[in-house]
Amino acid sequence: MSIRFLAITAAAGLSFVIQTSAGANSTPRAYPDDLKMAMKIGNALYDSLDAKYQQSLEPTPVRLLPMDAPKMTPTENDNLGQVSVSVGFVVLMDRIAHAKAIDQVKRGYFDKYVSSLEQGSDENPPELPDIDNPRYWQRDVMNDQSGFFNQMMGLTMAINLSHHYLGQYDKYSGQMSGELAPINNFLTMDEWETGLKAAAENSLECAFSTAGGKALFEAIGKMPHRPAWAAYIVPQNVDVKKLNKQLAKYEKQFFHGRFFHRSGQVIWGQRLN
C-alpha cells in the first residue's frame, strides 16, 4: 500500500471524524486541512536540520496512517527514517489544542477535558464537551487553536525525528514489538532528554514556540492514570514539571543565541502557508 494512498485515505477519515455542526442549517465546523498541515510541519522540520541529520531521514518524513487510535512513532522506509502519525493522533492534538484555546474564554475547560481524556477510551479519545457552542468557534479562539496545534505537532514530530538521527531508533527497533510500538518504553531518561533538546531546537527554528508542547505535557501530567496514547508522547515516569522547565530554558537559550536560520534568514514568526 503506497504512502500516497494512505494519506488520501487518512484525509477522508479525518474530515469524517472531526466535523461537527450546531444545527441542520448551520455551517459545519471543522479543523481545516490539518492532515496537510501535519505533512507541511514534518517537511519544515526536515528542511531546517543539518545535512548530516537529513541523510538518515526520508525527505518527506511524515507517513500518515488511516487509524483511529492516537499513535506517533519513529518508523523507517527503505532504511530511511520516518515518523508514522495516525489520523487519530491528529484528531487528538486538534482537540487538546482546542480545549487549551477555549480555556482562554472559559476557565477550567482545559482541566475538564483532560479529566475526560483520562477516563476515556485509549482508542477513541472523547469529543470536547459542549463543542457546538458558537463561542468556542470564534475567530480568536480558532486562531489560538491553530497555533497550539502547530506547536504540539511540531515538537512531537521533532522528538520522533530526533530518535532517528541520534541513533536511538536503530538501537531499540529490534526490541519494539511491532512497527507502531512507543519507543519511549525503551529510552533511558538521558536519551529522552537528549532527544527533547534536539527537538526543541529543531521546532524553534521552524517558528514553533514551546507553548503548545508545554500545554500537551501539562495535560499528560494532570492524569494520575495515563491513557495508552501518552506513551507515544512522553516516557511513563517523566517529571512533567521538570520537562516544562526544560522547554522554557531551551526557548530562552534559543532567543538569546539562535535568532537566525543556518541560511542567515530570520524565520521566527514565519507562518506555514
Asked if 124 and 88 touch (Cβ cutoff 8 Å), the reply is yes
Closest CA to 261 of 252, 270, 253: 270
Q: Is residue 239 part of a domain?
A: yes
For residue 170, give its domain range: 3-21+36-86+151-257
Grid cell 480555556 — which residue? 103
pLDDT of residue 53: 96
What is the sign, positive or negative, of the torsion defined by CA atoms of 79, 84, 159, 266?
positive
What's the structural domain count of the chain? Answer: 1
Specify if 236 maps to a domain.
yes
Nine-digit cell string for 65: 496512517
Q: Which residues lie across from 57 on neighbouring strands?
A: 81
Distance separating alpha carbons of residues 94 and 98, to the nearest angstrom: 6
In a domain, 123, yes or no: no
C-alpha to C-alpha distance for 86 and 141, rounded to whole angstroms: 25
How would you class 117 by CB atoms within 10 Å of its CB: exposed for 0-12, middle for 13-18, buried for 19 or more? buried
For residue 201, tell me if it sits in a domain: yes
Residue by residue, pLDDT tens for the chain (273 residues) are 333 333 333 333 443 334 443 343 343 477 878 899 999 999 999 999 999 999 999 999 999 999 999 999 999 999 999 999 999 999 999 999 999 999 999 999 999 999 999 887 778 889 999 999 999 999 999 999 999 999 999 999 999 999 999 999 999 999 987 668 899 999 999 999 999 999 999 999 999 999 999 999 999 999 988 999 999 999 988 888 899 999 999 999 888 775 444 333 333 333 344
Distance CA 273, CA 266 (A): 17
Does residue 207 lie in a domain region? Answer: yes
202 part of a folded domain: yes
Decide if 262 is inside a domain.
no
Res 9: pLDDT: 36
Written as nine digits, the cell of 29 is: 465546523
**Is residue 264 assigned to a domain?**
no
pTM given for the model: 0.84
* Cell numbers at 89, concatenated: 493522533
Phi-psi region of 158 (alpha: psi -120 to 50; beta: other; left: phi over 0): alpha
CA separation for the pair 246, 216 (Å, rounded):
14
